Amino acid sequence: MKRNWIILALLFLALPTMAQNRQPQVIDKVVAVVGKNIILQSDIENQYIQYRVQGIAEGSGKEIRSRILEDLLLQKLMLNQAEMDSITVTDEQVEAELNRRIQWFVSRFGSKEKMEAQFGKSMAEIKDEVRQASKDNMLQEQVQAKIMENVVVTPNEVRIFYNDIPKDSLPTISPEYEIVQIVKRPPVSIDEKLQVKDRLYQIRKRILEGESSFSTMAVLYSEDPGSARQGGELGLTERGEWATEFENVAFNLRDGEISDVVETQFGFHIIQLIEKRDNMVNCRHILLTAKVPIESLEKAQNQLDSVAQLIRNGDMTFEEACKKFSDDDSKSNGGYLTNAATGSNRLSLQDLQELEQSYSEYKNLAFVVGRLEVGEVSDPLPMTTNENNDAFRLVMVKSKTEAHQANLKDDYNLIQSWALNHKRQQAIIKWVKDKAAKAYIRLDDTYKNNDFYYDWNIQ
């Protein structure tokens, strides 16, 4: 439930505010009860402060608080239903999800220490304060998944939905691009790999001989920025989250045992098992990557410079050059760059900017693409692959849709997603009406006359 992750994120962000704004003269009170679950006035006020700070809500204070209350009512009703349906999540599942979320925040703050300083709390205290919210969120996701499991839209429903939108209400779609690329990934030399492996063995030797701890060496030497700041710790994780080679070793270690050097697509690792719980493990690792020699990168750049000239002279099409010269998997589909979030070949500049935050291969693409004409081939561009390797590429804008009013011909997939979201919302409305009629729901008199979106059956 993506919306609930936003709420959980706001709970993280609200920690300093909650600490700073606890004043004895403020009297908290219960403003709503849903089954066994209560909503406090402070729950509403804390989220209201963060909505205002983050600038993600518009309207009067009363309107915003009303929307927050309704969001909370929906969450509590789903928790009530989870209990009735005997839906559960294990402590291990909660801890794994919480660790993933913590990692996300640490990467945004820059380090564990900066995050702790911002919140004025230790990492353990932060986790303790949001653990229940994380568990509740996971239960709500399962309830929502059950509501949505049979909600689909047919092509005819998409057309009906589109035709029902007043023409003057159709949004303007930003320019979108189809981008093709030719990537040269210079190989790392055997000598460089051997040197990196030897460095890792030396680090491992120093740890085993007691010269330093694994976590200290991870902070000093690991090239995984996300975990290095936490002493290499990755958090409780299920199978399927890491590279296969890494998992095969990690899940077979004994407590405290340190592995031999393990090679994955991301580089070379040594791994130490911290804890094993059922089908989950918590490990530390130290990652070192073998670097591509400067000479190889210069050679790749020169090769692509020549390829670009062949395309510009008309001696070869971009597609032909892609098949012949590209080292990237995208050459199998003509070199098209896909949106990692949606799988679509069409990306707006905003899409590229957002993807850049999570995927290194999109870095600086929005800047370059926004300055290319359709059919124009870029100069060789340095890039970092998602495996953290240096490479070069050429990019070309294959096609561009200009800003236009949404229509079925050009924007079917987008309109289909709107129609599906609308149908899902209708399913939620129906579900709330049905469940609210059967659940115990009580509201403080202050809120009974609010203009709610859902039918809460308040007497």
What does the DSSP assignment read for 176-225? Answer: EEEEEEEEE-PPPPHHHHHHHHHHHHHHHHHHHTTSS-HHHHHHHH---H
Q: Among 239, 271, 288, identify where a domain stops.
A: 288
Kindly compute the dihedral angle of the four CA atoms of residues 200, 202, 203, 209, in this order, to the nearest 10 degrees.
140
Decide if 170 is inside a domain.
no
Residues 280 and 229 in one domain: yes
Q: What is the pLDDT of residue 99?
A: 81
Decide if 65 is inside a domain.
yes
Residues 147 and 133 in one domain: yes
Residues 206 and 275 in one domain: yes
Q: What is the pLDDT of residue 229?
A: 83
State the pTM of this model.
0.67
Residues 30 and 103 in one domain: yes
Helix H or strand E segment including 32: strand 30-34
pLDDT tens-digit readout, 378-394: 999 999 887 778 999 99
The closest alpha carbon to 178, from 302, 412, 348, 386, belongs to 348
Q: Among 288, 313, 332, identify where a domain stops.
A: 288
In this structure, the number of other CB atoms found within 10 A of the CB of residue 349 comes to 16
pLDDT exceeds cutoff 90 at 119: no
Structure tokens of 367?
Answer: 């800047």
Decide if 122 is inside a domain.
yes
pLDDT tens-digit readout, 102-113: 877 776 676 677
Residues 22 and 129 in one domain: yes
User: What value does the mean pLDDT take over residues 290-303?
Assistant: 93
pLDDT exceeds cutoff 70 at 38: yes
Q: What is the pLDDT of residue 203?
A: 97
CA 371 – CA 347 distance, rounded (Å): 15
State how beta strands 381-384 and 390-401 pair.
antiparallel
User: Which CATH number does the domain housing residue 93 bear?
Assistant: 1.10.4030.10
Residues 111 and 9 in one domain: yes
Helix (H, G, I), strand (E, B) or coil at 76: helix
Total structural domains in the chain? 3
456 secondary structure, DSSP code: -
Residues 248 and 233 in one domain: yes
Residues 325 and 182 in one domain: yes
Q: What is the pLDDT of residue 143?
A: 96
Q: Among 228, 263, 288, identify where a domain stops.
A: 288
Structural domain boundaries, residue 387: 176-187+292-402
